[in-house]
Chain A
């Protein structure tokens, strides 16, 4: 063990960072792959069918667990068709622009009190900045495809993201005011106490709006107008095939996981045990914090899938109305409420 630690210490800084990045990316990518599998299974069972159950591993069927790997291999070997009228450079850059921020945002994400790649003070700001960058990929993809469906999808996406980015930003301002810090680790620490200390309770409207905006940000049902299967076919990525399409797909799912994880972090106390402050606390002391975080994240990830199986799609202008006329006013009002609670040291969150 000591040898390992001294070997780690001896590695150059850059290599150490690289290894840490791999340690985050690899599980993330596997999660993304199996999230697609989970989605098909969960929605399948909600729709009285089985979901994928044919592709197994090593000759065993294993409930179709080999499906994501088979899908990935298939997509990798497919031809990347570039439409003749497309702007080739932008067409190929767009998926990269989409996925880069979706992955980079994880840099400041604390998985546990000490487990974070870059513990920067402006963590929240960094995440906000990066998640809003993702939309450029969508817009560029829509424009570069030189297709009317794709362009419509891109326009819808651009308008939608502006509206929901603001609502989301305001919701985060509430968290910021409550915690008094932009550092994600400190935001979690500020929620310490018990299940009732977590910010979901004092910031309930912001919590709901944050998550709903998150669903809208990731273009998921019922806000999937940018893709709009039955209206504009596949929206911005209608012309993409093979790996370029897969990259959009990966980015979407990585973003969903990110939004879920951030919701868990900022409103459900991150890695804090839900039994904190109760007699049960010592019983569950052995559970590593990261497990709680994963569990909470999973709840939100499941909600994404549940929404998709349940709701019809909003129309484009209705989404706008919901964003501008409902969410943004509510967040503004609640920021004031949070501010008042904070100033008056409302028990038991802020005293």
Chain B
């Protein structure tokens, strides 16, 4: 009898379920995975090295492009590290705006995750439903920063500008009929906060809608319950964070444990799972969608009642007003210095982390007193998660690998950096 050998299957980098450029070398015994070997580096862009050659405030845009589905959370991590280094505090209103946009980002990310995870498991309609809501949140991004994705909205010392009083509207034209424009503008008549509050009011019902399609669906449960189980101890050892850790039943969330921005003031709960399988992680993330909605509602209420500055009034760090520059020499000089040289934080090293949608996103900066970081290290949550690929996939079938990649919420921008 001939000897039966395992065979290797190259899963990716060009594969519909590889979430970008994951190359997974699978050693398989029929359909069963014996060993899963993830290869990273295909999206390496040298972000950390690039940051070493630019003044501090010019690298914020690179952070957007790390985890390109949770843009503002990455900015937040980086900006917090700089603020810690400079020992400054953003004004309270900016803190609330950041909290609100962090949660908007969390919903953006989790919707993207839900859509792609569902399409990986075969439920393709979910994907389009999720993207419908993402569109509204992208519009929020666009309203504050002018960009739908790579906002560069958070700046050391606050945020780029205050929330707009007027939500941008659709114009009727060749591609948008009068009726369409009216329908789309229904929620856009007022300010951005009105738009966000309208979204917050209808979003929980939409989450219910997603849940009717998946949560009690027998096929969905068969595909996710008991797949990729990670015990709480093992999850800690592997360096998991975010929903991956909470899905295993560890109630660890930086927003609660090491509150930053305005998280101390807002009321929200941390959902945790019990079994640590794909289904629990799904439930945790869906609940986070609801909790994020709660936080956004609270922030929006606070922001409506409390106007104020959104940027510190220190022109060594924040640029002066445009009008001031017209007739104030000092302001002009500040502007010139800030945009050419930047600022030189004191020597030292800092680590600041935020609870990004995928887990703990942290920036470690070593400063030698120059206007550029001596070294920037980004702690991306996805890297620890993908390292557990072999452990989670072993013994499962090929179709489960896809579910596991989905449940990890992998985005290669942050893993390869």
B-contacting residues of A (Cβ < 8 Å)?
A: 43, 46-49, 148-149, 152, 156, 221-222, 224-225, 228-233, 308-318
In the bound complex, residues from chain B placing their C-beta under 8 Å from that of A310 are 123, 125, 213
In the bound complex, do residue A316 and residue B399 qualify as a contact, i.e. CB atoms below 8 Å apart?
yes
In this complex, what residue of B is CB-closest to A317?
Answer: B397
Question: A311-B122, A316-B31 known; A148 and B7 CB under 8 Å?
Answer: yes
Question: A47-B128, A47-B129, A312-B123 known; A225 and B399 CB under 8 Å?
Answer: yes
In the bound complex, do residue B121 and residue A313 qualify as a contact, i.e. CB atoms below 8 Å apart?
yes
New contact pairs (9) apart from A152-B398, A314-B222, A316-B31, CB-CB < 8 Å: A224-B122, A230-B402, A231-B17, A231-B402, A312-B123, A313-B223, A315-B222, A316-B397, A318-B219
In the bound complex, do residue B219 and residue A47 qualify as a contact, i.e. CB atoms below 8 Å apart?
no
In the bound complex, do residue A313 and residue B128 qualify as a contact, i.e. CB atoms below 8 Å apart?
no
Question: How distant is A142 from chain B, measured CB to nearest CB, in Å?
Answer: 14
In the bound complex, do residue B7 and residue A231 qualify as a contact, i.e. CB atoms below 8 Å apart?
no
In the bound complex, residues from chain A placing their C-beta under 8 Å from that of B39 are none
Residue in A46, A228, A310, A312 with the greatest tally of chain B CB atoms within 10 Å: A312
Question: A312-B118, A312-B220, A316-B397 known; A230 and B125 CB under 8 Å?
Answer: no
Question: How distant is B29 from chain A, measured CB to nearest CB, in Å?
Answer: 12
In the bound complex, residues from chain A placing their C-beta under 8 Å from that of B213 are 310
In this complex, what residue of B is CB-closest to A311?
Answer: B219
Q: Does B120 contact A (CB under 8 A)?
A: yes
In this complex, what residue of A is CB-closest to B401?
Answer: A231
In the bound complex, do residue A152 and residue B31 qualify as a contact, i.e. CB atoms below 8 Å apart?
yes
In the bound complex, residues from chain B placing their C-beta under 8 Å from that of A315 are 222-223, 397, 399-400
Q: How far is the CA of A149 from the CA of B15 in the complex (A)?
A: 11
Question: How distant is A158 from chain B, measured CB to nearest CB, in Å?
Answer: 13
In the bound complex, residues from chain A placing their C-beta under 8 Å from that of B9 are 148-149, 152
Question: What are 28 residue pairs bridging A and B, where the CB atoms are less than 8 Å apart in the complex?
Answer: A46-B125, A47-B124, A47-B125, A48-B128, A48-B132, A148-B7, A148-B10, A152-B398, A221-B122, A222-B122, A224-B122, A229-B16, A230-B16, A231-B399, A309-B125, A310-B123, A310-B125, A311-B219, A312-B121, A312-B220, A313-B219, A314-B219, A314-B222, A314-B223, A315-B222, A315-B397, A315-B399, A315-B400
Q: Does B119 contact A (CB under 8 A)?
A: yes
Size band of the B side of the interface? 20 to 34
Q: Does B258 contact A (CB under 8 A)?
A: no
In the bound complex, residues from chain A placing their C-beta under 8 Å from that of B15 are 233
In the bound complex, residues from chain B placing their C-beta under 8 Å from that of A225 are 399
In this complex, what residue of A is CB-closest to B17?
Answer: A230
Question: How distant is A178 from chain B, measured CB to nearest CB, in Å?
Answer: 30
Q: How far is the CA of A78 from the CA of B123 in the complex (A)?
A: 30
Q: Does B166 contact A (CB under 8 A)?
A: no
Q: Does B6 contact A (CB under 8 A)?
A: no
Q: How far is the CA of A46 from the CA of B129 in the complex (A)?
A: 10
Question: How distant is B329 from chain A, measured CB to nearest CB, in Å?
Answer: 56
Q: Does B177 contact A (CB under 8 A)?
A: no
In the bound complex, residues from chain A placing their C-beta under 8 Å from that of B217 are 311-312
In the bound complex, residues from chain B placing their C-beta under 8 Å from that of A152 are 9, 31, 398
Question: A48-B129, A229-B16 known; A313 and B399 CB under 8 Å?
Answer: yes
**Complex A-B, nearest 7 residue pairs according to Cβ-Cβ distance, in ascending order:** A313-B122, A47-B128, A312-B123, A230-B17, A312-B122, A315-B399, A312-B121
In the bound complex, residues from chain A placing their C-beta under 8 Å from that of B125 are 43, 46-47, 309-310
Interface residues of B in 102-136 (CB under 8 A from A): 118-125, 128-129, 132
Contact with A along B388-417 (1 / 0, CB 8 A): 000000000111111000000000000000
In the bound complex, do residue A230 and residue B119 qualify as a contact, i.e. CB atoms below 8 Å apart?
yes
Question: How distant is B205 from chain A, measured CB to nearest CB, in Å?
Answer: 15
In the bound complex, do residue B398 and residue A231 qualify as a contact, i.e. CB atoms below 8 Å apart?
yes
In the bound complex, residues from chain B placing their C-beta under 8 Å from that of A318 are 219, 222-223
In the bound complex, residues from chain B placing their C-beta under 8 Å from that of A229 are 16, 122
In the bound complex, do residue B120 and residue A230 qualify as a contact, i.e. CB atoms below 8 Å apart?
yes
In the bound complex, residues from chain A placing their C-beta under 8 Å from that of B120 are 230
In this complex, what residue of B is CB-closest to A159?
Answer: B31
In this complex, what residue of A is CB-closest to B30?
Answer: A155
Question: How distant is A317 from chain B, measured CB to nearest CB, in Å?
Answer: 7
Q: How far is the CA of A222 from the CA of B219 in the complex (A)?
A: 9
In the bound complex, residues from chain A placing their C-beta under 8 Å from that of B121 are 230, 312-313
Interface residues of B in 12-32 (CB under 8 A from A): 15-17, 31
Residue in B217, B220, B399 with the greatest tally of chain A CB atoms within 10 Å: B399
Q: How far is the CA of A47 from the CA of B126 in the complex (A)?
A: 8
